[in-house]
Structure 1
Amino acid sequence: MHAVLPNARDGFEVFDLQTGTVLTSRHADRQFAAMSVVKLLIALDALARNNWVTPDGDTLITPQDMVTGYRYLTDQVPGPDRDLLLGALADAPRIASDGFKQYFGIPDGLPHTTWAIKQGWGTSGSQAVMESTGLVGSDLRQLQPRGRSVSHVIHLTP
């Protein structure tokens, strides 16, 4: 990525849900504007507390925050709610409703792998932001929390 975008700010964390270990990370505690990736965290919060208050300004997240959210989704959200969210993430369309091509990051990088993604894009100040987050692994559709192999979070700021 840095060969193409030398000034890009990035951060990622890859977490193995079976072993409970971080496989690799880079700048995983670096905060970025959340874009629409925060919608997954809003859904989890709404399920957990049955409420949500819109914050002022950009919501800031880290790759570690997103891994925590995905771990909560796979390990603690009750089956029907988890299945609803994972189904929506697994059925993300190639072209978003605003016309943006959202198969970047995980879908482009892992084209022959099963995944469930939440992408985000937009601007924060004068910076363009693209985020790719999700769960990957061939058994993802089985919706068994400990069956998922890796949670992968990437953030790119070109």
Structure 2
Amino acid sequence: MKPLAAVPLVVAALAAPAHASEVAKPPRVPAGTTAAWAVFDRQAGRFVAVKNVHRKYRSASVVKILIAIDYLEGRKSVPPADARLLKIMLRSSDDDAASAFWDRQGKGRLIVRQARRLGLSDTAPPPASKPGFWGYTSLSAHDIVRTYRYLLDKADARVRDTILGHLRQATPCGTDGFDQTFGIPDAVPKPFAVKQGWSGFGTTPPVRCNGDARAVGAPISWIAQRATGSGVPDYGRPVLYSTGLVGKGERYVMAVLTAHPAGATWSSSVGRVTTLTKDLYRSLPS
């Protein structure tokens, strides 16, 4: 399989609308918040919005896409039990499911395999001292968009349809009880495919989500992700990520990554990332 063709991330390459006044100004990043984003326009074949695209963040649950790719590309058939794990891992961001695949597939070695295969320049395994912490994988907005483009343009149809099929049916709630409708789900018109990520807000949601995922206590594997670490991007700051396919015909591939001030509340952080995502979407060419 040939590597995914690179698209230069330069301002001159950004698509411009016929009338600049028709497009809103780029999003304003709130004070104390660090943000990065990348939006690839599949219709134009170019990036139309970029900011800090190679800045590294700890992955939180966004890494579950790479875990799924690695698992599916390593076998021709999926046992029913594993199919159920993939479903809940991708739709409801289940952490025990992610940990099961992570351990079986060699932990950080799966990240090395996928980074090489997909050409991910900013993606690396967790620190050597934290091999079981899949949420400490480093990645960037650039690499997330590249991963979605790989699924859309290069991956085997079985792999593509399984993963994107689940992301198109993401549940409102994660299995840890956190509401995962921030960012894209609250900012962009349906339909969309979405994979969210969050870390640093404790193990108990401030308000229990009432969606259709099973609402249980935070899994032990996710509690482990909160353990003290070093060499982890933005460790000590809560992070929220909203990534996916949006627009008519899934025209845009979008990744919005944010790190919030230490001690920031869930509600205030969710409000910031959702407003930022909404402003970003409004700024895109129509």
**Deviations along 1:26-83, whole A, 9 cap, x unmatched?**
1111000000100101212333455832133510000000011000000012223211
Task: Tell me what 1:10 maps to.
Answer: 35
- Given candidates 161, 179, 190, the residue that maps to 1:101 is 179
Normalised to the residue count of structure 1, the TM-score between the two structures is: 0.85
Q: Within 1, Cα distance between the matches of 2:146 and 2:28? A: 27
Are 1:52 and 2:105 counterparts?
A: yes
Q: Are 1:2 and 1:8, in contact at CA under 8 Å, matched by a contact in 2?
A: no
1:37 counterpart letter in structure 2: V
Secondary structure of 1:127's partner?
coil
Q: Are 1:119 and 1:132, in contact at CA under 8 Å, matched by a contact in 2?
A: yes
Secondary structure of 1:153's partner?
strand
2:105 counterpart letter in structure 1: W
Q: Are 2:37 and 2:254, in contact at CA under 8 Å, matched by a contact in 1?
A: yes
**Deviations along 1:128-153, whole A, 9 cap, x unmatched?**
111111011232xxxxxxxx311000
Normalised to the residue count of structure 2, the TM-score between the two structures is: 0.48
- Given candidates 156, 159, 163, the residue that maps to 1:85 is 163
The correspondence of residues 127-146 of structure 1 with structure 2, limited to 5 A, is 127-139=237-249
Are 1:76 and 2:149 counterparts?
A: no
Q: Which moved more, 1:82-91 or 1:46-55?
A: 46-55
1:134 counterpart letter in structure 2: G
The structure with higher relative contact order (CA 8 Å, sep 6+) is: 1
Q: Which moved more, 1:43-52 or 1:12-21?
A: 43-52
Task: Tell me what 1:122 maps to.
Answer: 199
Q: Within 1, Cα distance between the matches of 2:137 and 2:39? A: 22
Q: Within 2, Cα distance between the matches of 1:157 and 1:2? A: 14
Are 1:152 and 2:254 counterparts?
A: yes
Q: Within 2, Cα distance between the matches of 1:134 and 1:22? A: 15
Q: Within 2, Cα distance between the matches of 1:135 and 1:101? A: 19
Secondary structure of 2:248's partner?
coil
Q: Are 1:117 and 1:132, in contact at CA under 8 Å, matched by a contact in 2?
A: yes
| Closer/same/farther in 2, CA of residues 125 and 14 from structure 1, 3 Å limit | same
Task: Tell me what 1:40 maps to.
Answer: 65
Share of identical aligned residues, percent?
34
Task: Tell me what 2:51 maps to.
Answer: 26
Q: Within 1, Cα distance between the matches of 2:105 and 2:151? A: 17
User: Alpha-carbon deviation of 1:6?
Assistant: 1.1
Q: Within 1, Cα distance between the matches of 2:31 and 2:199? A: 20
Higher helix share: 2
Q: Are 2:193 and 2:244, in contact at CA under 8 Å, matched by a contact in 1?
A: yes
Secondary structure of 2:175's partner?
coil
Task: Tell me what 2:97 maps to.
Answer: none
Q: Are 2:37 and 2:52, in contact at CA under 8 Å, matched by a contact in 1?
A: yes
Q: Within 2, Cα distance between the matches of 1:69 and 1:49? A: 17
**Deviations along 1:108-142, whole A, 9 cap, x unmatched?**
111x2311000011126321111111011232xxx
